[in-house]
Amino acid sequence: MSTLTIAAVQYDIRWLDQQANFNALAQLIKEHFADNAAADLLLLPETFSTGFCINRKDVQEPEGGGIALTWLKKIAKQYNCVVAGTVLVSQHDKKVNRFYWVFADGTVEHYDKRHLFRLGKEQDYVEQGQNRKIFTINGIKILPLVCYDLRFPVWSRNRQDYDLMVNVANWPAVRRHVWDTLLKARAMENQAFVVGVNRIGEDGNNTAHSGGTTIINFDGENIICADDNQQKIITTKLDFSKLDEFRHKFPAFLDADEFELSLDSQ
C-alpha cells in the first residue's frame, strides 16, 4: 500500500454567494500550498459554494455541471490533485446533494448523499442517493460520505473494500459532540483512516457551526485537528502500510457478521 497526502479545508461559507466563496477559497488554498507540500486530495465542506440552502429552486446546478463544477476542475488542474466537495444538482423535480470528486485531468466522479436530514426536511427538496461508491486515488480505496450519513454504520460498514473514509459536512455546533464521537467510532469499528471536514460560522438559517475538521487514525486517535471556529486547512500524509500492519495484527474484520445492504428508497 502507498501513501496519500490529505488537505482538509475548514471554512466559513458565505451564504448564497458563490463568487465570494470561490475567491476566498482560492486565496486560502493558495496561501496554504505556498507553505506546504502538494496534496493528493483536497477536501471542501458540504455545499461549499452556497451553504446548506436546500429549499430554494435557484440554488442548484444543472445535471451536466455548472459554475461550481467548473471551479472545481480549475482548482484540481492548478494544484494537480483530486478536489472534492458537494454541490446541489438538479434531478427530476428535486435535486441531489452531489459529492463531486474532480481529478486533475478533468475526470469527474460523484456520490449522491444517501441519508437525508429529516429534521431539516431535506427529503422534501433532495432526492436520496441510491449507490454506495468507492473511489480510488494512488491505489487507495476511499468511501465518501456526506454529513448525516455519519450516523448510519451499516451504510459505512467496511467490507474490506476501503482504507479511508471521508465525510464532508455542515454539522451544527449544537450536535458537535455527536460528530466528534461518531468519527472516532467509524474509524475504530471499520479499521480505517477517517477524515471529517466541517464548516464554521453561522449560516443563513442562523445555525452555528464550530468546525471539528480532523484526520483520525485507524485506532480512533486524532492525527491532526483544526482549531475550533477558525478558517484553516489541515494536512498530513497517511501511510497505509501501517494500516495494513494493524489489520494483520488485529484482524477483527474476520469475525464480522454477514449481511446484505438494502438500497430501497425511503
| Active site positions, annotated | 46, 113, 147
Q: At residue 40, what are phi and psi to the nearest 5 degrees?
A: -90, -30
Conformational region of residue 92, where left means phi above 0, alpha means psi within -120 to 50, and beta covers everything else: left
Q: At residue 24, what are phi and psi to the nearest 5 degrees?
A: -65, -40
Q: Helix or strand or coil: residue 75?
A: helix
Q: Considering only CA atoms, which of 163, 170, 135 is closest in space to residue 15?
A: 170
Q: Considering only CA atoms, which of 112, 115, 150 is closest in space to residue 133?
A: 112
C-alpha cell, 178: 455527536
Burial-class residue 31 by CB neighbours within 10 Å (0-12, 13-18, 19+).
Answer: exposed
Say if residues 136 and 243 touch (Cβ distance below 8 Å): no
Say if residues 10 and 236 touch (Cβ distance below 8 Å): no
